[in-house]
Amino acid sequence: SVLADQIAAGEVVERPASVVKELVENAIDAHSTQIDITVEESGLKRISVVDDGDGIPDEDTEMAFKRHATSKITDRKDLFKIKSLGFRGEALPSIASVADVTLTTSTGTVGTLIHNVGGHIVTHTPAASRKGTDVTVKDLFGNVPARLKYLKSPTTELSKITDIVNRIALSYPNIAFSLVHNGRELMRTSGRGDLQQVIAGIYGVQSARKMVAIAGENPDFKVSGYVSLPELTRASRQYISILLNGRYIHNFQLSKALIAGYGSKLMVGRYPIAVLAITMDPLLVDVNVHPTKQEVRISQEPELSQLIEKTIFDR
> From residue 262 to residue 291, what is the string marking binding to ligand ADP with x (rule CB under 6 A)?
------------------------------
Interaction of residue 189 with ligand ADP, rule CB under 6 A: no
Among 92, 232, 259, 278, binds ligand ADP (CB under 6 A): 92
Interaction of residue 98 with ligand ADP, rule CB under 6 A: no
Interaction of residue 58 with ligand ADP, rule CB under 6 A: no
Least spacing, CB of residue 90 vs Mg ion, in Å: 8
Interaction of residue 72 with ligand ADP, rule CB under 6 A: yes
Q: How far are the Cα atoms of 64, 127, 170 from residue 93, in angstroms, in the given order?
A: 7, 21, 28
**Who's near 184: CB < 8 A, 6+ residues apart?**
none
Question: Residue 111 touches which of Mg ion, ligand ADP, none (CB < 5 to 8 A by kind)?
Answer: none
Could you list the residues that contact Mg ion (CB under 5 A)?
A: 26, 86, 91
* Contact indicator for 42, 154 with CB cutoff of 8 Å: yes
Cα 222 to chain centroid distance, Å, stands at 22
Among 2, 41, 57, 71, binds ligand ADP (CB under 6 A): 71
Interaction of residue 166 with ligand ADP, rule CB under 6 A: no
The total number of residues written for the chain in this structure: 315
Among 52, 54, 157, 309, binds ligand ADP (CB under 6 A): 54
Among 18, 42, 48, 70, binds ligand ADP (CB under 6 A): 70
9-13: long-range contacts at Cβ-Cβ below 8 A with a sequence spacing of 24 or more? Answer: 9/94, 9/95, 9/97, 9/98, 9/144, 10/147, 11/94, 11/291, 11/292, 12/90, 12/91, 12/94, 12/95, 12/291, 12/292, 13/91, 13/94, 13/95, 13/98, 13/140
The three-point CA angle 254-258-264 to 5° equals: 145
Among 86, 191, 201, 272, binds ligand ADP (CB under 6 A): 86
Q: Judged by CB, which is closer to Mg ion: 36, or 90?
A: 90
Q: Quote helix, strand, coil % in the chain, to nearest 5.
A: 40, 30, 35
Least spacing, CB of residue 196 vs Mg ion, in Å: 29
Interaction of residue 26 with ligand ADP, rule CB under 6 A: yes
d(CA 218, CA 280): 10
Least spacing, CB of residue 129 vs Mg ion, in Å: 20
Burial of 241 (0-12, 13-18, 19+ CB in 10 A): buried
Interaction of residue 6 with ligand ADP, rule CB under 6 A: no
Interaction of residue 131 with ligand ADP, rule CB under 6 A: no
Counting residues that bind ligand ADP (by CB under 6 A) gives: 22
Residues of the shown chain interacting with ligand ADP in the complex, contacts defined by CB under 6 A: 22, 26-27, 30, 51, 53-56, 64, 69-72, 86-92, 133
